[in-house]
Amino acid sequence: ESGFRDVEVDKVKEQQIRDLNTQLMTARAEVSDKSAHLEQARHVMAANGDIDSIPELTGSPALTDLGKKKMELNWSLADLQKKFGEHNPQVVSARAALASVDKQINAEAANIVDGMKNAYDIAVRREKSLETNLQNLTANLNSDTYIKLQQLRHQAEADRKDYECYLAQYNN
């Protein structure tokens, strides 16, 4: 009866290991995806690039409203410059309003990027937790189960690398 119980325990552990490996592979893909999005956002922000290329930013209602306001101010500024010239007080005021909106856009974009960083950090912590759980679970396994685990880990790592290559190609 003890041998049967050991076999059943090993089967349960193997299933738990498979489940954890699946979760870990998903978590690694999530970390990789969040990292790529975060780095892209940081790069665009650092280069004062087009924030419309970052999905997380284009989905922000606050940034959408500020973008509309900026567009209206640009039109108004162009119109005022044509009518009154560069040094007119209305033109100077319109430029100041435009600079203020730009500052608000940058602040809101920075807040969103901070949120992306927090989401990335949470995903990393989840990945580390799953790795720890997997290590704890596999600490007392017999050699056959351990070999299967190693095979699963190698497959998961290969899948992760394939995913990262695909993601890198997609982002370029």
Among residues 160, 150, 171, 162, the alpha carbon closest in space to that of 31 is found at 160
> What are the residues whose beta carbons fall under 8 Å from the beta carbon of 159, sequence distance 6 or more?
25
C-alpha 29/C-alpha 110 separation (Å) is 25
Residue 128's pLDDT is: 97
pLDDT at residue 19, as a whole number: 92
Q: Supply the pTM of this predicted model.
A: 0.72
**Alpha-carbon distance 113 to 70, whole Å?**
21
Token pair for residue 127? Answer: 């990945």
Residue 3 has pLDDT above 90, yes or no: no
- Tell me what pLDDT residue 75 has: 97
Helix, strand, or coil here: 130?
helix
